Amino acid sequence: MLKLSILDQSPVSAGVSHREAVQQTVQLAQLADRLGYTRFWVSEHHNSQGLAGSSPEVLLSTLAARTSRIRLGSGGVLLPHYSAYKVAENFRMLEALYPGRIDLGIGRAPGGTPHTAKALRGAEANLFEGLERFPAQVSDLVGFLTDTIEPGHVFEGIRATPLVESMPQVWLLGSTGQSGVYASQVGAAFCFAHFINGAGGQQAVRSYRSSFQPSALNVVPQATVCIYVLCAETTAEAEEQATSIDLRILQMEKGEFTGVKSPKEAASYVYSDWDQTRIRDNRSRMIIGNPSQVRDGLRRIADSYGVDEVMVVTGGYRAETRRQTLELLAEMFRLRPRLTG
């Protein structure tokens, strides 16, 4: 049976405050926990009007306290901005509090504009140097989490506290094959962001598996794929709600970082020929439709990647649309009996 998981970006719809958007994420995690989803990840974005999630570590502590079973993780911590040691300590603390339920997803994207990245790293920071240091940071992070910092290393003798027997599951996230290369080198799990890049992911996962090196993290490769999903009772309803996602992605590509617009606002937006082309192309990053269409689409994407788990990014203008997607998928894939209320 295909396992389903969720990446929630705390989207901010027009007329909704950032506080409300974060509370909607908490409520969605609680619903996912009741419905039987495998894991629930939250993202990291900065200086964004349309996305409220900026601190996965803090949000995860609340989600873990308000759920009981589901795995929780970052999708992901943007490691170039931070100290690998501090990230290791943050997630060891989460693992100490909620053992066996924490995932540490790591990304290398800026999560905002270059100007915002400088605010995160310091005004004098060299942004290109941060990306160049990423492989070494990943290696250091794994060393801190597994207590395998080698003798002679600059950090020899330093241990990440609290000292706990278990550790979070480490994932590398990416929309190109390079993150898969890094994941294979350290033995981490790998999640391909199909919702960001709809091309090349299958090859990236195959390459990751073929070059995987067992480590203290994993002895066998583990991969998943993340894709936009919107499911409704009818195809017409799904297509209407999906216009909000179409417009949001288009505006992000154009540098218009606003909140999620309603289907009515999307219908009144003036689209150029280029806009229409981009919307058609971006549909390769989504699965939209009624329950049977979405079920078949998820099975196809899983088969093409050779994975037994798919992570969905739920979209739509209203929180109710995201909840409906989760409920319909849970019913279709028989995760748990459908819940209401």
Q: What pLDDT tens digit does each residue of the chain (341 aa) get? A: 899 999 999 999 988 999 999 999 999 999 999 999 999 999 999 998 889 999 999 999 999 999 999 999 999 999 999 999 999 999 999 999 999 999 999 999 877 778 888 888 876 766 666 668 899 999 999 999 999 999 999 999 999 999 999 999 999 999 999 999 999 999 999 999 999 999 999 999 999 999 999 999 999 999 999 999 999 999 999 999 999 999 999 998 988 877 899 999 999 999 999 999 999 999 999 999 999 999 999 999 999 999 999 999 998 899 999 999 999 999 999 997 444 44
**Three-class secondary structure of residue 287 per DSSP:** strand
What is the rounded distance in angstroms from the CA atom of residue 22 to the CA atom of residue 327? 20
List pLDDT tens digits, range 187-226: 999 999 999 999 999 999 999 999 999 999 999 999 999 9
Question: What would the two tokens of residue 86 be?
Answer: 């501090």
pLDDT for 127 equals 62
Q: Which residues contact 180 (CB under 8 A, 6 or more apart)?
A: 172, 174, 190, 192, 204, 205, 207, 208
pLDDT for 71 equals 98
* Superfamily of the domain at 3-241+286-332: Luciferase-like domain (3.20.20.30)
Q: Which residue, 224, 268, 223, is CA-closest to 244? A: 268
Longest dimension (CA), the chain: 63
- Residue pair 219/231 in contact by the 8 Å Cβ criterion: no
Alpha helices per DSSP H over the chain: 18-35, 56-65, 84-97, 114-121, 127-132, 134-146, 177-186, 201-211, 235-253, 263-268, 273-282, 291-305, 319-332
What is the rounded distance in angstroms from the CA atom of residue 61 to the CA atom of residue 22? 13
**Three-class secondary structure of residue 176 per DSSP:** coil
